[in-house]
Chains A and B, each alone.
Chain A
Amino acid sequence: MTGSSTPARTTTQALGAYGESLAARHLTAQGMILLDRNWRCEAGELDLVLREEDVLVVCEVKTRSSDRCGTPHEAVTELKLARLRRLAVRWREAHGVGPVEIRIDLVAVIRPRRGPSQLDHVRGIG
């Protein structure tokens, strides 16, 4: 998945980038503060890192053009969750943030070929 800094190459990557922008806009509109986008290290990538009051929120964004191959929600497996937890700790250490409460959120975006996109924000998935 490519962030907004580099140009999108495939339609899937373009779709992913679109979803992440939509999610970032939605979450900041809810009063969350965006700290980082597409932060990477050798262990992987975090889509969005935000702050809601005293909680560090790591947000995974899943974008699909339809739920024909399962919902975006279903794509977050136990394995993926474990990686997100590890990455969240890495991000905190890399930015010199002390021990804070960490929450993992999911934003599922469905962008059909016609009609408006649907966005579902799930707080605390694991």
Chain B
Amino acid sequence: MPFATARTVSLQGALGHVIDVQTDVSPGQVGTTLVGRPDASIQEARDRCRMAIINSSLTWPATKRITILLSPADLPKRGTHFDLAIACSVLAADGRLPGAALDGAALIGELTLDGGLRSVPGVLPMVLAAADRGIRRVFVPEPQAAEAAMVPGMSVLGMRSLAQVVAELRGEEVPEADPVAAASGSRLLSWRGEERMEEVDLADLMGLADARFAIEVAAAGGHHLMLSGPKGAGKTTIAERIPTLLPDLTAEEALELTALHSLAGVLDPGAGMIRRPPFSAPHHDASKASLIGGGSGQVRPGAVSLAHAGVLFLDEFPLFRSDVIEAMRQPLESGDVVIARTDEQVRLPARGMVVLACNPCPCGDFSPAAANNRCTCKEVARRDYRNKITGPVADRVDILRHVEPLQPFERNDRFARPEDSASVRLRVTQARRRQAERYAEVGWRLNAHVPGAALRDSWSLDEAGRDRLDGDIYDAKITSRGAVRVHRLAWTVLDLQCPRDPGRRPGVSEVETALALRRGDPLPLAALRRRAS
């Protein structure tokens, strides 16, 4: 039969579709037609495949009419990784490969003219999608075998050339081939202090008790945080240390994050699965596409998604362009990003903590205390600046803290030994475990992910706490979105205390602390003291 089917995967954001590459080789006007909504790079696959087959000492059916269909035909397809499936499908249709060998296998890889394989971005999400559809065997370029092998239960064949793949499918001895170059370029620069982020620790910082408490709560519950304060107060320093408070990623998170990095083509082939929470700090000149995701052609994840399950830090937040700030609304609220195109809609996870930092005014010196106020900004400039901070985006941030510069007596206080990251991480890990157990049946991981309705119905505050919060809504001191966020914060505050009684619900004292955290008011002394003991 002059007909064969090979399988590969097409990606739409983080959604993978298994694609049947069907080839018919029959007499007729000689030529190769490729149908099923291929993009320009797949159209070029015809030439790559033809030369790769000929230069691998295999036979291209040059006297036949070749029709290649990428099925389902209505789905737009992109990428160069279709090459391997197309080449094998043509060979099988021409009777040079046993068609049955292609059953239950997915083929991923770009071909070179000499028949070698090249690495492609997005192998992990492709293999995940293939596994989902019951495929148990994948052929991938050799450097990406480790990435594909992260998917449990998958038999991965890392190959160097088309000739090797064909030999494997025929059940023959696999020939030698030149090694495949890895996808990512080589690093041209390395500088001293490059690994700085691996050595930071909370113990480096003196004082800042208020901000320390805030980042601990934020880390424990996955809450978004805004740090405001005059320049030099330590906003950036403290934000950079938030990842050190987070426990290692769960297996599920690690797979999601590694898949997102693979999609973006930024995965280091040697590094394997990402185990530590990521920290991403894009510059304030960043475009909307780089932050949220998008780009021309294939949708690439943006910084928000690359910081999934970690920390996205937007320093000098009001200096970001207004359209970029507005675009942050969706990920802040729902924990994912939807990028709509004419013919497709791509949803990417973006469930990291977002940490925003801003000065109180454009010059950074404004202080409400008249004695410290060296601000030179015009009132209009200050107002414009503040307008960017307040508004809908700020309403979606759970915790607002003002970071004040260190006082001289704090700097030199030798008795107040700063706590190190490891001990805070221990408390954060415990608090996260409590949340995971509480939400085990419904699949959320952290308080920040729980929808408002579910909180109200299943995990409400105790009666006094509810009255306290309702009072503030009644007085219009807080919006109902704000109330939901306070409710979540109250749970996190309670989780950090690790109460003995497992049935305890957040009460008045937790709500007070949560309200103060959200509004940027001074924290109740009790909250700070409890932590110090």
- Which A residues have a C-beta under 8 Å from some C-beta of B? 67, 70-74, 76, 78, 81, 108, 120, 122-126
**Is A71 touching B29 in the complex (CB atoms < 8 A)?**
no
Q: A67 contacts B27, CB within 8 Å?
A: no
Smallest CB gap from B26: residue in A: A122
User: How far, in Å, is A99 (CB) from chain B's closest CB?
Assistant: 24
Within 8 A of A (CB), among B39-76: 62-65
* Least CB distance, A40 to chain B, in whole angstroms: 23
Please determine whether A124 and B62 come into contact, CB atoms closer than 8 angstroms: no
Q: What are 16 A-B pairs with beta-carbon distances under 8 A?
A: A67-B62, A70-B62, A71-B62, A71-B63, A72-B63, A73-B63, A73-B64, A74-B63, A76-B29, A78-B29, A120-B63, A122-B28, A125-B27, A125-B29, A126-B28, A126-B29
- The distance in angstroms between the C-alpha atoms of A76 and B27, with both chains bound, is 13
User: Chain B contacts of A70 at CB under 8 A?
Assistant: 62
Q: Is the CB of B29 within 8 A of A108?
A: no
Contacts of A73 in B (CB 8 A): 30, 62-64
Q: Which residues of A contact B62 (CB under 8 A)?
A: 67, 70-71, 73-74
Q: Which residues of the other chain, A, contact B29 by a CB distance below 8 angstroms?
A: 76, 78, 81, 125-126
A-B contact sample (16 more), CB < 8 A, given A67-B62, A76-B29, A81-B29? A70-B62, A71-B30, A71-B62, A71-B63, A72-B63, A73-B64, A74-B30, A78-B29, A108-B63, A120-B63, A122-B28, A123-B27, A124-B27, A125-B27, A126-B28, A126-B29
Question: 6 closest Cβ contacts across the A-B interface?
Answer: A73-B63, A122-B27, A73-B30, A126-B29, A125-B29, A71-B62
Q: Write the nearest CB–CB distance from B247 to chain A, whole angstroms.
A: 63
Inter-chain CA distance A67–B62, complex, in Å, is 10
Chain B residues near A71 (CB-CB < 8 A): 30, 62-63
Q: Which residues of A contact B27 (CB under 8 A)?
A: 122-125
Tell me which residues across on chain B come within 8 A of A76, comparing CB atoms.
Answer: 29-30
The distance from the CB of B93 to the nearest CB of chain A, in whole angstroms, is 17
Bound together, the chains give a CA A71 to CA B28 distance in angstroms of 14
Nearest to B27 among chain A residues (CB) is A122
> What residues on A are CB-neighbors of B65 within 8 Å?
125
Chain A residue nearest to B64 (CB atoms) is A73
Neighbouring A residues of B28 by C-beta, 8 Å: 122, 124-126
Looking at the assembled complex, report how far the CB atom of B242 sits from the nearest CB atom of chain A, in whole angstroms: 63
Nearest-CB distance from A42 to chain B (Å)? 25
B218 to chain A, nearest CB (A): 65
On chain B, the residues within 8 Å of A126 by CB distance are 28-29
Bound form: Cα–Cα A75–B28 in Å: 13
Nearest CB of A to B57, in Å: 16
A67 / chain B contacts, CB cutoff of 8 Å = 62
Q: Which of A67, A72, A122 has the most CB of B within 10 A?
A: A122
Bound Cα distance from A70 to B31, whole angstroms: 12
Residues of B within 8 A of A122 (CB): 27-28, 63
List A contacts of B64 (CB < 8 A).
Answer: 73
A70 to chain B, nearest CB (A): 7
Nearest CB on B from A111, distance (A): 16
B359 to chain A, nearest CB (A): 67
B30: chain A residues within 8 A (beta carbon): 71, 73-74, 76
Interface string of B304-331 (1 = CB under 8 A from A): 0000000000000000000000000000
